[in-house]
């Protein structure tokens, strides 16, 4: 029972008193804000937090943000007792991850090198060392263990209570038994929370309602597509060999993790095929709740998990526990300001790592709320990457079956989601399928990744970290783009029509480059935030003085739309998402001009249709927008075709293409071609922690323009002298090396950065990637040329080459030909 009276006003109301809400409130207070109120429907921890197993592990992620959050969290849980007087139950017993097959060994070697770079003390140990640390484990099939001595476990309830106490000591008011029943809003911004005990006016509201977050979000029209799923652990009776000092053991190939629990063994599970729970809605009165275990479904997985500690099969089961945890469509949390509602923040969908990232996540969100911009890369978990269709019950029911299981699958870099497929198809889909496309899921779009030649099935085959069976098909597509002409479906790109008398003015204010020049011209630009950091990377085509065509990448639909809408409030400018109204075909390669000239009466010559020109051209019976631009580094064109004309135009192109040996190319080729040219991909190799100059994108920032968001900071960045942090191209001339992400780059033996995104440069003849080098000194040609460069891939170090300018066509001769 609350004895305090609910205030009528607060600066921030946090809704939900699990680990996440408590951490957000604690950090807001710690970082200096007051008038923070936390309301909890029942008791603190009564949702998912109370039954978590409490693993506190820093190993395992190739996201810098996630790894830093884990490190911060561990440190916080270690030190919280001294601050609050309440213990967190943190026990640094150590953690071991087992690799039992060659692909997992490769994966964990890649991950451990990255984690070490981030400051995690992870060591590869032998099966015998595993056995000596965890004697009751079977190790005959173990290839290696990955051991972090400083990791361990906490008691999730104690951690939450300790943080709540710390928060209260700093002035936060926490209320149990208070349910948020609605949201107050005005002019597109949140103004407060309605509760069962009255309204609280507030500047900010934070939705940390765990598995209820989606339902609570719906009350405010905010899209939060998380979904609860059954999540299990088993606890055996006590036995003498199970001592509390044993480390935590994790064996993804057996679907299990293992730790001591009151003298018995706890076996936690991530089964490969899982069961969503209460898709129709989470009951409002589910507190400290348990789900009846499904023994039949779990039996085979449990048997496999127990087999790792054979002794456990002869010990009685004290408890087989099932509780709900919320999962997201891409296994990454849902964090940030809702695009639908200003000052409404969300931190939910923790995918079973809410305890071990909770401290760090609270800090990140508090900083974001207080300053308006995050201080870590949030492109992977920003709420605005998710789309409204992903809240559809059938989608959630279908995708969630896959998501929990992904936690323990081997994370092959080329794997695509297998569930909830076919949600979005481009108009060309059936034709591309007939042409041999292997499709992957690109923000829900079925997009061709590569094409199988006639007689070969378009199947990914056995996954690996090395050369896949489709490598030669990919290579042929890449070479066709460099030497001849290709057709590529890019319909997944998001397209907006921005119209109105002020449309150009507004877009020019948002854009760092001048996008309001000549009519009939495309401009590549960055959008910056007030810190001068990158918010979006896109093109704007001026169709006329009151009409602009904006194209952004698949993950930035709602991000870009929100930036535009929020800057248009008082202007005569209107944005419409026209993504589905146009199919996009890219015709690229040295023969692209000749091919298009066969199809249209428009003069396609270099003089009449120069680089960056945009014109409507006629193809067959259709009129399409043709823009001369490239993301592959070739002479090329992007065609934006009204959906109803798509098949007709496609057929005409393919027919005319016979003479040129036109080849279909997929997204693998897109990745390898653009990477050779050093072109960036927002959210993959550039993000909100970078400025344009560090990313070699200064050419897309027009400092002569008088007024645009981020200009002041961009001027300072430009004036601040030589860059000490810089995105460089890295190239490895060894045909056996494959770069994907997180490989460590060394200069004179010292790690200076990691590959943000990698591919294979079929023209350059080796793996190629983009690496953000943090040098602490000026990164000049001298710094690069007078040093030995190497790259570490899965435990082996290879010679490498780095470059400021792209290694392929640095003078841009091909694109302007
Ligand atoms: C079996 C199991 C084992 C796990 N093991 C681990 C582990 O070892 N390590 C790890 O890191 N994670 C683990 N997890 C995951 C972890 O427990 C969760 O990620 C974490 O607890 C989520 O915290 P939360 O604050 O988001 O949600 P919750 O703890 O569910 O908190 C949300 C709170 O919001 C309240 N609420 C909801 N709606 C309203 C409303 N309208 N008004 C007011 N209050 C509201 C609820 O009552 C609830 O208390 C495990 C989960 C399970 C199920």
Query: What mean pLDDT comes out for the span 751-771?
Result: 98
Residue 2 has pLDDT above 70, yes or no: no
Which is the closest atom of ligand 1 to the Cα of 47? 30
Q: Tokens 């091919």 map to which residue? A: 595
pLDDT digits (tens, 9 = 90+) for 385-406: 999 999 999 999 999 999 999 9
CA 482 to centroid of ligand 1, rounded, Å: 51
Which is the closest atom of ligand 1 to the Cα of 323? 53
Atom 15 (ligand 1) nearest CA = 352
Sheet of 264-269, strands arranged across: 122-125, 144-148, 95-99, 248-251, 256-261, 264-269, 227-236, 317-327
Residues in Cβ contact with 147 at an 8 Å cutoff, skipping those fewer than 6 apart:
94, 95, 96, 122, 123, 124, 125, 129, 133, 247
Res. 777 pLDDT band, cuts 50 70 90: very high
Atom 4 (ligand 1) nearest CA = 52
What phi-psi label fits residue 205: left (phi over 0), alpha (psi between -120 and 50 degrees) or beta? beta
pLDDT digits (tens, 9 = 90+) for 88-121: 999 999 999 999 999 999 999 999 999 999 999 9
CA 562 to centroid of ligand 1, rounded, Å: 29
CA 46 to centroid of ligand 1, rounded, Å: 8
Pairing of strands 189-195, 636-642: unpaired
Atom 26 (ligand 1) nearest CA = 210
Which is the closest atom of ligand 1 to the Cα of 347? 26
pLDDT digits (tens, 9 = 90+) for 61-81: 999 999 999 999 999 999 999
pLDDT computed for residue 55 by the predictor: 97
Atom 35 (ligand 1) nearest CA = 16
Residue 139 has pLDDT above 50, yes or no: yes
Which is the closest atom of ligand 1 to the Cα of 55? 8
CA 726 to centroid of ligand 1, rounded, Å: 39
Q: Which of 200, 87, 64, 127 is nearest to 772 (CA)?
A: 64
Residue from 27, 42, 47, 266 whose mutation best tests the ligand 1 pocket (most atoms within 8 A of CB):
47
CA 47 to centroid of ligand 1, rounded, Å: 5
Residue from 52, 208, 346 whose mutation best tests the ligand 1 pocket (most atoms within 8 A of CB):
52
Which is the closest atom of ligand 1 to the Cα of 42? 47
> If you average pLDDT over every residue of the chain, what do you get?
97
Q: Report how far residue 616's alpha carbon sits from residue 618's, in angstroms, rounded to the nearest whole number.
A: 7
Across the strands, what pairs with 267?
Answer: 234, 258
Q: Report how far residue 692's alpha carbon sits from residue 711's, in angstroms, rounded to the nearest whole number.
A: 11
Residue 744 has pLDDT above 60, yes or no: yes
Atom 22 (ligand 1) nearest CA = 354
Which is the closest atom of ligand 1 to the Cα of 353? 11
Atom 41 (ligand 1) nearest CA = 180
Q: Report how far residue 25's alpha carbon sits from residue 19's, in angstroms, rounded to the nearest whole number.
A: 10
pLDDT digits (tens, 9 = 90+) for 602-650: 999 999 999 999 999 999 999 999 999 999 999 999 999 999 999 999 9
Residue from 15, 37, 212 whose mutation best tests the ligand 1 pocket (most atoms within 8 A of CB):
212
Atom 49 (ligand 1) nearest CA = 47
8: number of Cβ within 10 Å: 10
Query: What mean pLDDT comes out for the span 256-271?
Result: 97
pLDDT computed for residue 3 by the predictor: 53
Q: Report how far residue 630's alpha carbon sits from residue 679's, in angstroms, rounded to the nearest whole number.
A: 10
Which is the closest atom of ligand 1 to the Cα of 22? 25
Which is the closest atom of ligand 1 to the Cα of 257? 8
How far from 251 is each of 258, 259, 377, 412, 609, CA to CA, in Å? 8, 12, 29, 17, 59
Q: Report how far residue 448's alpha carbon sits from residue 489's, in angstroms, rounded to the nearest whole number.
A: 7
List, as one string, the DSSP characters of 42-80. SSTTTTTGGG---EE---S---HHHHHHHHHHHHHHHHH
For residue 744 the two structure tokens come to 């460590």
Threshold 0.95, pTM exceeds: yes
CA 19 to centroid of ligand 1, rounded, Å: 7
Residue from 48, 56, 69, 271 whose mutation best tests the ligand 1 pocket (most atoms within 8 A of CB):
48
CA 381 to centroid of ligand 1, rounded, Å: 18
Query: What mean pLDDT comes out for the span 1-30?
Result: 92
How far from 712 is each of 266, 514, 564, 709, 718, CA to CA, in Å? 56, 16, 20, 8, 10
Residue 690 has pLDDT above 80, yes or no: yes
pLDDT digits (tens, 9 = 90+) for 586-613: 999 999 999 999 999 999 999 999 999 9
Res. 651 pLDDT band, cuts 50 70 90: very high
Residue from 77, 324, 325 whose mutation best tests the ligand 1 pocket (most atoms within 8 A of CB):
325
CA 181 to centroid of ligand 1, rounded, Å: 19
Res. 434 pLDDT band, cuts 50 70 90: very high
Helix or strand run (H / E) with residue 480: helix 471-483
Query: What mean pLDDT comes out for the span 167-195?
Result: 98
Across the strands, what pairs with 174?
Answer: 38
User: How far, rounded to the nearest angstrom, does the alpha carbon of residue 793 sit from its chain's CA centroid?
Assistant: 22
Q: Report how far residue 478's alpha carbon sits from residue 746's, in angstroms, rounded to the nearest whole number.
A: 29
pLDDT computed for residue 721 by the predictor: 87
pLDDT digits (tens, 9 = 90+) for 494-551: 999 999 999 999 999 999 999 999 999 999 999 999 999 999 999 999 999 999 999 9
End-to-end distance of the chain based on CA atoms, in angstroms?
75
Helix or strand run (H / E) with residue 717: helix 711-719
pLDDT computed for residue 1 by the predictor: 44
pLDDT digits (tens, 9 = 90+) for 319-335: 999 999 999 999 999 99
Q: Which residues line ligand 1 (CB under 6 A)?
A: 15-21, 39-42, 46-49, 51-55, 179-180, 208-212, 216, 231, 233, 323, 325, 348, 350, 352-356
Residues in Cβ contact with 555 at an 8 Å cutoff, skipping those fewer than 6 apart:
379, 385, 443, 682, 683
CA 2 to centroid of ligand 1, rounded, Å: 22
For residue 282 the two structure tokens come to 């989470």
CA 48 to centroid of ligand 1, rounded, Å: 3
CA 200 to centroid of ligand 1, rounded, Å: 24
**DSSP for residue 795:** T
Atom 33 (ligand 1) nearest CA = 16
């Amino acid at each position: 029972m609350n004895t305090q009276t609910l205030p009528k006003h607060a600066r921030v109301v946090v809704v939900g008193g699990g680990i996440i809400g408590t951490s957000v409130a604690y950090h807001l207070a710690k970082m200096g804000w007051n008038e923070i109120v936390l309301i909890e429907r029942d008791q603190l921890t009564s949702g998912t937090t109370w039954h978590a197993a409490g693993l506190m592990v820093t190993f395992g992620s190739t996201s810098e943000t996630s790894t830093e959050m884990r490190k911060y969290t561990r440190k916080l849980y270690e030190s919280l007792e001294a601050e609050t007087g309440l213990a967190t139950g943190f026990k640094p017993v150590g953690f071991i991850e087992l690799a039992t097959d060659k692909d997992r060994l490769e994966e964990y070697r890649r991950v451990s090198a990255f984690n070490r770079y981030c400051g995690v003390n992870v060591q590869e140990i032998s099966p015998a060392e595993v056995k000596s640390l965890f004697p009751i484990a079977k190790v005959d099939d173990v290839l290696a263990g990955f051991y972090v001595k400083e990791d361990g476990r906490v008691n999730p309830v104690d951690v939450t209570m300790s943080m709540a106490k710390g928060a209260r000591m700093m002035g936060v008011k926490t209320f149990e038994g208070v349910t948020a029943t609605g949201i107050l809003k005005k002019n597109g911004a949140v103004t407060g929370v309605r509760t069962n005990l009255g309204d609280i006016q507030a500047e900010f509201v934070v939705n940390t309602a765990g598995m209820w977050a989606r339902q609570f979000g719906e009350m405010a029209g905010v899209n939060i597509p998380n979904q609860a799923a059954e999540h299990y652990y088993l606890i055996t009776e006590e036995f003498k060999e199970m001592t509390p000092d044993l480390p935590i053991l994790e064996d993804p190939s057996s679907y299990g993790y293992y730790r001591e629990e009151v003298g018995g063994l706890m076996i936690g599970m991530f089964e490969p095929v899982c069961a969503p729970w209460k898709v129709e809605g989470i009951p409002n009165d589910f507190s400290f709740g348990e789900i009846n275990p499904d023994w039949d479904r779990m039996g085979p997985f449990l048997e496999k998990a127990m087999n790792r500690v054979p002794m456990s099969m002869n010990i009685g089961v004290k408890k087989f526990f099932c509780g709900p945890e919320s999962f997201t469509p891409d296994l990454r949390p849902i964090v940030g300001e809702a695009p639908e509602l200003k000052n409404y923040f969300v931190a939910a969908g923790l995918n079973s790592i809410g305890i071990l990232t909770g401290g760090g996540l609270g800090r990140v969100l508090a900083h974001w709320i207080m300053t308006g911009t995050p201080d870590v890369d949030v492109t992977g978990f920003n709420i605005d990457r998710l789309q409204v269709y992903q809240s559809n019950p059938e989608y959630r029911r279908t995708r969630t079956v896959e998501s929990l299981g992904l936690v323990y699958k081997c994370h092959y870099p080329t794997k695509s989601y297998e569930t909830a497929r076919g949600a979005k198809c481009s108009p060309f889909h059936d034709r591309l399928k007939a042409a041999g496309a292997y499709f992957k899921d690109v923000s829900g779009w079925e997009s061709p990744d590569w094409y199988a030649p006639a007689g070969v099935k378009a199947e990914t085959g056995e996954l690996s970290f090395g050369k896949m069976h489709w490598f030669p098909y990919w290579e042929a597509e890449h070479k066709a783009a460099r030497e001849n002409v290709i057709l590529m479906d890019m319909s997944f790109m998001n397209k907006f029509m921005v119209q109105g008398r002020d449309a150009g003015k507004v877009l020019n204010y948002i854009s760092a480059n001048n996008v309001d020049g000549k009519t009939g011209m495309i401009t590549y630009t960055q959008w910056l935030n007030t810190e001068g950091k990158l918010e979006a990377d896109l093109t704007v085509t001026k169709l006329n003085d009151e009409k602009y065509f904006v194209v952004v990448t698949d993950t930035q639909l709602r991000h870009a739309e929100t930036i535009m809408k929020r800057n248009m409030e008082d202007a005569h400018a209107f944005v419409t998402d026209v993504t589905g109204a146009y199919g996009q075909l890219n015709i690229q390669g040295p023969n692209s001009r000749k091919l298009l000239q066969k199809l249209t009466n428009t003069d396609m010559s270099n003089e009449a249709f120069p680089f960056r020109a945009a014109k409507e051209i006629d193809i067959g019976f259709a009129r399409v927008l043709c823009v001369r631009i490239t993301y592959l580094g070739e002479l090329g064109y992007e065609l934006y075709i009204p959906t109803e004309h798509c098949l007709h135009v496609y057929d005409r192109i393919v027919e005319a293409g016979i003479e040129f040996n036109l080849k279909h190319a997929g997204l693998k080729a897109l990745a390898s071609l653009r990477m050779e040219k050093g072109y960036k991909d927002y959210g993959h190799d550039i993000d909100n922690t970078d400025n344009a100059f560090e990313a070699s994108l200064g050419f897309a920032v027009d400092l002569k323009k008088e007024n645009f968001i981020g200009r002041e900071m961009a001027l300072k960045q430009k004036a601040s002298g030589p860059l000490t942090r810089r995105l460089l191209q890295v190239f490895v001339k060894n045909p056996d090396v494959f770069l994907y992400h997180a490989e460590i780059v060394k200069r004179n033996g010292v790690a200076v950065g990691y590959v943000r995104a990698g591919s294979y440069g079929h023209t350059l003849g080796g793996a190629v990637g983009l690496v953000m080098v943090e040098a602490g000194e000026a990164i000049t040609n001298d710094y690069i040329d007078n040093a030995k460069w190497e790259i570490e891939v899965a435990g082996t170090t290879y010679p490498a080459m780095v470059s400021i300018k792209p290694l392929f066509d640095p003078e841009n001769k091909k694109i302007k030909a």
